[in-house]
Homo-oligomer: A and B are copies of this chain.
Amino acid sequence: MKLKRGLIQVYTGNGKGKTTAAWGQAMRASGQGLKVGIIQFFKGKGSGEAKTAKKLNLDVYFFCPVHPYFGGKRKKLEKECREGLIFAKKIIQSKKYDLIILDEINIAMKDELIEVNEVLDLIKNKPKEVELILTGRGAPKKIIESAGLVTEMKEVKHPYQKGIKGRRGIEY
């Protein structure tokens, strides 16, 4: 199956549910016969979703596995994010995938590890039938303007507020 018209979806905001919404979308798309590729920034291979992806028809690619928040040298982060972006362009243009998720790419732009204009270029030049999803807090205004679907995940309540730490299987 092919999409007639692929849109740009953006999930941003401070609340929980951005990455899970993207992966849930991958699960939905895969179930309907779409081919899904996921480019994962700032996360390692140990997440529950990455483990499940192995059992499904989902290709996951990892770039820049250390989140800027946890340190990592800036030059190295920039280089790895750039490699991710170049790879993203390549697979978007290849038309191998109907849906491509750029998980946490908004963070890379917010933290100025990649330039907003480069991502805008990637969006503008995508093949018509490819759907793109960009996630991560702090999506730049220009990205929001270029998207067809934008949801802000707004934190109403979060257990971090009560000091509960990230739990395996729930937060990662």
Contacts and interface: CB of A to CB of B under 8 A. Distances in A.
Interface string A15-50: 111111111111111111110000000000001111
Given A22-B24, A24-B21, A48-B32, A158 B149 contact: yes
A154 B154 contact: yes
A11 B19 CA distance: 14
Interface in A1-18: 1, 3-5, 7, 9-11, 13, 15-18
Contacts of A3: 167, 169-170
Which of A1, A3, A16, A98 has most B Cβ within 10 Å? A16
Contacts of A164: 5, 7, 148
A140 to B, nearest CB: 13
A152 interface: yes
Contacts of A19: 24
A71 interface: no
Interface stretch (A51-59, A105-113, A118-126): A51-59
Given A131-B170, A168-B1, A48 B30 contact: yes
Contacts of A55: 55-56
